[in-house]
Amino acid sequence: MSPERSVTPTKITAWLDCAHFLTLTHQVEDGTREAPAGGMGAFARLLADKGLQHEAACLAEYEGQGKRVLHVPSRHPRESFQAWVVRVGSAFDGEWDVLYQMPLAHDGIRGIADFLVRTVDDDGRGSWEPVDAKLARAQAKPGHVLQLCFYAEAIEAVTGTRPAEMHLWLGSGAVETLAVHDFSAYWRRLRRQLATVLDDPADQVDTTAVPCVHCGFCTFADVCDAQWRAEDSLVYVAGLRAPEWETLLAADVVTLPSSRSAPPTSTAWARSGSSAWAPRPPCSSEPGSGRAPTRPTC
């Protein structure tokens, strides 16, 4: 893995949705591609703002309960992430109940945990458990669980004690508690897959842009959109579903012009006589494969 390539839980979560995102990100980090200028889209910014509001509400709840909350000091300008981790690491030994915005770095991955909460078991042994504030109103998503798994692993590396549980403070106000050992094997397997992708030389990583749930939040949305437009991609066929996409790809029909000469009975879309072209909504792609999916799955 290139030492310049920082891996964050957020990046891992994006990789689950889209392997191509990681390829483009690495090209930016390697200097072979300019950083996308567009930044965060309006919808992504709205969600981010809502997320910050939810996190602030969770913080207020802890403080309202009378817990001793440390607002972890911010990273200094030009301070490396690792130096920041070392500087604030002694917070684990303080008399705090909650550490807010704690940076963690372990085994090539780094991230900032929303909350680490001190717990004491029946035998009086203390430990720290991660709590992440998420806008989802019900049920943890795979990416959320992976983030928590990383925090739990990093906590164990720093304190020597593995958290028994990890928690998601959902947008509904409910707290979903997960047992760390239930997900350890899942986390290790994903970690290995990710390491394989990151260790691949750039010219051997063969990913392509395929619409997925991450596109709506992706900083590379303009890049991929421009590529799809330039290629006359089937992405913009209104109403095209995965089975029809699969049929067309199998017939080597990958662009709008080639689809016009496709046998009219080859797809349900073609049978319908539809010729309308419009951006199709994003759908799920194969997660965590480390390679681009060859078709949409919705």
Choice between 213 and 251, CB closer to ligand SF4: 213
Closest C-alpha among 63, 166, 52, 160 to residue 116: 166
Nearest distance from residue 292's CB to ligand SF4, in Å? 8
Query: Would you state the structure tokens that stand for residue 111, as one six-digit string?
Result: 């991230």
Tell me: does residue 16 bind ligand SF4 (CB under 6 A): no
Nearest distance from residue 215's CB to ligand SF4, in Å? 3
Query: Are 128 and 159 contacting, i.e. CB atoms less than 8 angstroms apart?
Result: yes
Choice between 7 and 155, CB closer to ligand SF4: 7
Tell me: does residue 167 bind ligand SF4 (CB under 6 A): no
Tell me: does residue 21 bind ligand SF4 (CB under 6 A): yes
Choice between 190 and 223, CB closer to ligand SF4: 223
The answer for residues whose C-beta is within 8 angstroms of residue 227's C-beta and 6 or more apart is: 209, 233
Tell me which stretch binds ligand SF4 (CB under 6 A): 19-27, 82-90, 159-167, 191-199.
19-27
Query: Are 168 and 140 contacting, i.e. CB atoms less than 8 angstroms apart?
Result: yes
Judged by CB under 6 A, the chain residues 202 through 221 that form the site for ligand SF4 are 209-210, 212, 214-215, 218, 220-221
Nearest distance from residue 33's CB to ligand SF4, in Å? 12
Report d(CA 36, CA 72) in Å as an integer: 31
Tell me: does residue 245 bind ligand SF4 (CB under 6 A): no
Q: What are phi and psi of 34, to 5 degrees?
A: -75, 145
Given candidates 7, 12, 18, 235, which one binds ligand SF4 under the rule CB under 6 A?
18
Given candidates 166, 224, 234, 237, which one binds ligand SF4 under the rule CB under 6 A?
224
Tell me: does residue 234 bind ligand SF4 (CB under 6 A): no
Give the number of other Cβ atoms within 10 Å of residue 56's Cβ. 11
Each as own residue / partner, the long-range contacts of residues 267-275 (CB below 8 Å, 24 or more positions apart, any chain) are 267/240, 267/243, 268/241, 268/243, 268/244, 269/237, 269/239, 269/240, 269/241, 269/244, 270/244, 272/239, 274/238, 274/239
Query: Are 298 and 284 contacting, i.e. CB atoms less than 8 angstroms apart?
Result: yes
Residue 29's DSSP bridge partners are none
Binding-site size, ligand SF4 (CB under 6 A): 13
Choice between 113 and 292, CB closer to ligand SF4: 292
Where do contacts with ligand SF4 occur on this chain (CB under 6 A)? 18, 20-21, 24, 209-210, 212, 214-215, 218, 220-221, 224
